[in-house]
Amino acid sequence: MIYFDNAATTFPKPSTVTDEVHRCISAYCGNPGRGAHPLAMRAAEKIYECREALAAFFDAGEPERVIFTLNTTHALNIAIKGLIPPGAHVLISELEHNAVFRPLVRLGGERGVRVETFPVVGLTESEILSGIRARLCKDTAAIVCQHASNICPIVLPIREIGALCRGKGLFFVVDAAQSAGRLPLSVRECGISALALPGHKSLYGIQGCGALILGEGILPTPLTEGGSGVDSLSPTMPEAPPERYEAGTLSTPAIAGLLEGLEFLRETGMGEIEACEKRLYTALSERLTALPGIRVYLPETPGAVLLFNKEGVPAATVGERLAARGICVRAGLHCAPLAHKALGTGEGGAVRVSFGAFNTVREVDALWRALKD
């Protein structure tokens, strides 16, 4: 099998990750923060160790600002619904995933929040920033946007957008689903209010945990309430993070695996993986653009995600045919109809090829031959 669906979840996982997950389940998977016995304490220690590692990796300051979540979507819901006030105006990019768009649509109905998109495709960084400035108004409360697209190789200038937010006193919520572990990212340098990220994509952990990293002084209203392991006599959630946002039992095996994923990135080198992905992108883009009837979107912008269509063949059919030959890609709208509309693929979507640390040029050649036949 050839796996080119790493934007959905990376596969395979490093052996150190799967080994630690198995070790956790069999040796120390007590309920963290819910007892003083050895298994509970060991689980709590592992979770705090990962909290510290994430805070350092993303330059977030205190580990307590790292909130463990189910996934990126959960983290975004906490930030969006917990920070944006009624009647606010919010700017998002035209490439946003439904994990950003749908919570804001709900706030539109419940709180009268107005959502406006700013253009990105085909624009320079300065043009993107000019488009944002032109759309700001007195009611603008936040900019919510992705760092990197989940369907194409576009990367937004979040450092510059963060500086703009700081200057205007706006919340800056960043969806790092496709960049966390792949691109350098500093919460403090980019002025990020809330950073949402997955554990199972380019951080090479397993499915079952993500994180929300809060900027200094940022305290969203909790999304859920329940047991927190501390301050149990209070009828409300604790005032301070992380317990304020972590109602219920965390997934210790997933968090233990995430910690090993971070170590894998440190040992392998995030820059090395990114360079490899770009080489594979360029190799595949050159091969596909030479084939009659194949259109590659943004072929000269190398990244981890390549999008294409085959003339006269629905994207879903291309995906099915490749799957029958043992090649895993994702076809369709990728939970990002806004982005597909911006790229001109809004009807049936397109075929996405996404690279990871373990892909090779030989696999790229196999995909090219399958499409050539």
Give residue-wise pLDDT tens across range 140-174: 999 999 999 999 999 999 999 999 999 999 999 99
How would you classify residue 87: left for phi > 0, otherwise alpha for psi between -120 and 50, otherwise beta?
left
Beta bridge partners of 296: 308
The DSSP bridge pattern shows strands 89-93 and 114-118 to be parallel
Instruction: Decide: helix, strand or coil at residue 359.
Output: coil
- Rounded to two decimals, what is the model's pTM? 0.97
Q: What is the pLDDT of residue 373?
A: 82
Q: What mean pLDDT is predicted for residues 320-333?
A: 98
Average pLDDT, the chain: 96
Share of the chain above pLDDT 90, in %: 93
Q: What is the pLDDT of residue 148?
A: 98
pLDDT surpassing 90 at residue 293: yes
Burial category of 331 from C-beta neighbours within 10 Å (exposed 0-12, middle 13-18, buried 19 and up): buried
pLDDT digits (tens, 9 = 90+) for 295-309: 999 998 999 999 999
Q: What is the pLDDT of residue 309?
A: 98
Is the bond preceding residue 222 a cis peptide, omega within 30 degrees? no
pLDDT digits (tens, 9 = 90+) for 214-264: 999 999 999 999 987 777 888 888 888 999 999 999 999 999 999 999 999
CA distance 266 to 367: 30
Q: Domains for the chain: give ranges and CATH numbers.
A: 15-267 (3.40.640.10), 269-372 (3.90.1150.10)
Q: What is the pLDDT of residue 183?
A: 98
